[in-house]
Structure 1
Amino acid sequence: MKRVTVAGKTVDEAVDKALALLETTRDRVEVRVLEEPRRLLGVIRIGRARVEVACRPDPREEAVTFLRQLLAVVGIEAEVDVEARGKHQLWISLRGDRSLGVLIGRRGQTLDALQHLVNVVANKKSAELVRIVLDAGGYRERRRQALERLAERLAVRVVRTRRSVKLEPMPPVERKIIHTHLQGWRNVTTYSEGEEPHRYVVIAYKES
């Protein structure tokens, strides 16, 4: 964390000097007043103000640094791309060779666990919560497409047989894909049952 200690005639002047040195803005720092000037008889200012100004950790930088350190430890070479999607969401994509499969794991379980860890690290000291979605080798998009195809196939079966179908347990983000994709279907409704981490989607028949 970058921090400087600066003196000035007033606290505001000292803070402004510190911001110039850190090349940042007031909303991205924490200020600790170490010393304030005193006034003699309420008129004459004696002494100087002294402040310590520290930059707040940037969630994006914290996440990228953590991922690069992790990749180096496990011996995987990959490029880290960061894209802002909305004010409080970052999409981090890892691009590399087949070795990225180690980070994805069975049905994305390792990737989901790593994503949770990255969010914890990035937001640990951040003043503003940022949601980070972690992808590796385009897995998230492939998984989304596969879930949508599965949802359509099962929805057709439900309409034909008029019998509900229970899907396997899925994390919240994948259940949402199913719910959203079938939202506009006639004669079909979806809902979730069970307790985490075994919560699953039910596709049921609905009279029109």
Structure 2
Amino acid sequence: MKIVESAGKTIEEALEKALKELNATLDEVEYDVIEEPTKGFLGILGGKAGKIRVTLKENSNKVAKEFIDEVLKCMNVELSSSVDTEDGTLNIKFDGDDDQMGYIIGRRGETLDALQFITNLVVNKNSSEHKKVLMDVGNYRQKREESLIRFSKKMARSVVRKKKPVKLEPMNPYERRIIHAALQNDPYVRTYSEGEEPNRRVVIALKK
């Protein structure tokens, strides 16, 4: 975060100077008054200037965009990225060649999840307000969610038919939550997780 101190006959004047130095608008900064201005004799002589400390807020969208683009460059991946904010969440999306998008997704979304996790740390490192980061490539998240829901219901039918529990492949917390949510109201089966990360998995079993 960039911080400057500024003085002026009034707080407004000091603030105006600081904004000009930071090349920022009022809503992009926070400021504290260090010294209030005082008037001198007869309001003219001996007055003391006011002094403020102005902090430039982190622009989360800009931080995320610059970091992501630098990572893509280091990975030699030619994709365009876009960042927008909705309800305090940074939505980051990629567009470009299908092969390049597949590369950034990785096996079962592992590369995408790792990049999302690191970006989340970078965005919130110096931010006073926590921002959630969600990253998607070619609508992969929605497609993966729909696939997991179909798969979980198929496995639930198998458990009911064979009357034996099924252990699914290890999944990240996000994907496990999808499975649990998809079957939480099923009248015949229940779900629970077992194991330690990164090998924690969902188990689908008959209700007792």
Q: TM-score range by the shorter chain?
A: 0.7 to 0.9
Please give the residue correspondences for 1:158-177 in structure 2 after superposition, counting only pairs within 5 Å: 158-177=159-178
Distance 1:12 1:195, change over 3 A: farther
Of stretches 88-97 and 29-38 in structure 1, the one that deviates more from structure 2 is 29-38
* RMSD over equivalenced CA pairs, Å: 2.7
Of stretches 15-24 and 128-137 in structure 1, the one that deviates more from structure 2 is 15-24
Of stretches 99-108 and 125-134 in structure 1, the one that deviates more from structure 2 is 99-108
Map of 1:73 onto structure 2:
74
Map of 1:186 onto structure 2:
187
2:83 is the alignment partner of 1:82: yes
How far off its partner does 1:100 sit? 2.0
Whether the aligned pair in 2 keeps the contact of 1:36 and 1:50 (CA below 8 Å) is: yes
Whether the aligned pair in 2 keeps the contact of 1:56 and 1:125 (CA below 8 Å) is: no
**2:24 alignment partner, one of 17, 22, 25:** 22
- Once the two structures are aligned, what percentage of the paired residues are identical? 42
Map of 1:54 onto structure 2:
55
How far off its partner does 1:35 sit? 5.4
2:155 is the alignment partner of 1:154: yes
How far off its partner does 1:32 sit? 5.5
Map of 1:110 onto structure 2:
111
Whether the aligned pair in 2 keeps the contact of 1:37 and 1:45 (CA below 8 Å) is: no
Of stretches 6-15 and 176-185 in structure 1, the one that deviates more from structure 2 is 6-15
How far off its partner does 1:128 sit? 0.6
Residue segments in structure 2 that go unaligned for 5+ positions in a row: none
**Secondary structure of the corresponding residue to residue 26 of structure 2:** coil
Of stretches 15-24 and 107-116 in structure 1, the one that deviates more from structure 2 is 15-24
Residue segments in structure 1 that go unaligned for 5+ positions in a row: none
Whether the aligned pair in 2 keeps the contact of 1:88 and 1:130 (CA below 8 Å) is: yes
* Aligned mates of 1:151, 1:17 — CA distance in 2: 61
Q: Deviations over 1:94-121 (max 9, x none)?
A: 1111212221111111111111110011
Amino acid at match of 1:22: A
* Aligned mates of 1:126, 1:45 — CA distance in 2: 40
Amino acid at match of 2:26: T
* Aligned mates of 2:177, 2:78 — CA distance in 1: 32
Q: Deviations over 1:29-87 (max 9, x none)?
A: 3435565546779x9873212334121112222111111122223332222233434x2
Amino acid at match of 2:108: R
2:173 is the alignment partner of 1:198: no
**Secondary structure of the corresponding residue to residue 191 of structure 1:** strand
Alignment coverage as a number of residue pairs: 203
Of stretches 183-192 and 110-119 in structure 1, the one that deviates more from structure 2 is 183-192
